[in-house]
Structure 1
């Protein structure tokens, strides 16, 4: 699972409000229930999750200004609809990500924009080789991989962001994208295979430990680590 990654990924953080709500340390399920009628409790939820949502939106837009605006919209919509929230067995953040995911779909459609992923950010992503415990670090100059990711359908780009940037589980991604956990696992598998096919012939294994380029599944190894 992406949760086993040891590397530190680049994180964009939302600007902090001067009157930020103080986190009381209340367990999340209780806090969510209280937030349905208590704005201060909702403020604590905001402080707990705003950086994650901002980070996701920033990766999708590449713009801090747009990320601030869209993140605000996510939490406004969440506050408007939190009374309807029901625990589905996944973290509360999955519900927020789903709101963000839907807003982003509308944002790109309205502007006819294709999201971009910065090469500097991509260099910090890590992918699996031969299983979940062996990681492959991408080289800073791997423009071929960046181009291949940009050619993927939007939902597959989303999947990679959720997996490798946000480090979410298949169950959490399924809740966000409105699919079963099995469907997400299958989509992830197909996405990795599509990348490997697209990059066929462009991958050159190197010995330098700092820049090991897409060994394992991308160079034709066994298809493992899709869970």
Structure 2
């Protein structure tokens, strides 16, 4: 959808819930992925995604196009809700009673040892990513999961494209250092 079509759809969504439904369908997976990889809880990511779109729908009449894609507004709402989520969790610690992540366990085929190595590599990478600052984690989610360009990420994070390139480079270097430190500790 080109920017003019998106603006027309947003304007229509201000008075037509069906038009907002089209915006929801377009962005729900991206916002869910963004939230899920920030909090690593399927149930909480689903709840927060619902909250993002409820807030967006409740406030769509006050939305003003400022030259940024509509997704930037949704990501900003999601970012704020994730920050509040962590703020609230610090105040009250919870222990999950159900194992939500069981569905993500590997399904073993003919080569369980290969799958075990792959699973361990993914776990190591996720642990390393969680050691990064929140802004760097956010950058990686936007870059690799949502596959946004540096210019799009810059609009969302309110930074120049050059600043995003620099942050991306520094993030990859830090991630490499974290990963190599982890390998040295395991050796």
Quick check: TM above 0.5?
yes
Deviations 1:176-213 (A, max 9, x none): 2232322222211110111122333777xxxxxxxxxx
Does the 8 Å contact 1:159/1:173 carry over to 2?
yes
Q: Are 2:149 and 1:192 equivalent residues in the alignment? A: no
TM-score (norm 1): 0.60
> Is 1:172 the counterpart of 2:156 in the alignment?
no
Where do 1:81-96 residues align within 5 Å?
A: 81-96=59-74
Q: How many residues align?
A: 158
Alpha-carbon distance change, 149 to 179 in structure 1, aligned in 2, over 3 angstroms: same
Q: Is 2:38–2:137's contact at 8 Å kept on the other side of the alignment?
A: no
Structure 1: runs of 5 or more not aligned: 1-25, 122-138, 204-227
Aligned to 1:141: 120
1:51-75 superposed Cα distances (whole Å, 9 cap, x missing partner): 2212222222222221221111101
Q: Which residue of 2 aligns with 1:31?
A: 9
In the alignment, which of 77, 101, 122 is matched to residue 99 of structure 1?
77
- CA RMSD in angstroms comes to 2.8
| Shift in alpha-carbon separation, 1:78–1:153, aligned structure 2, 3 A | same
Alignment-derived partner of residue 62 in structure 1? 40
Separation (CA, whole Å) in 2 of partners of 1:201 and 1:74: 37
Are 2:176 and 1:157 aligned? Answer: no
Greater helix share, 1 or 2?
A: 2
Whole-angstrom CA distance in 1 between matches of 2:157 and 2:82: 12
Aligned equivalents of 2:89, 2:181: Cα separation in 1:
35
Question: 1:144: Cα distance to partner?
Answer: 4.0
Partners of 1:182 and 1:84 in 2: how far apart? 31
In 1, Cα distance between equivalents of 2:131 and 2:28: 29
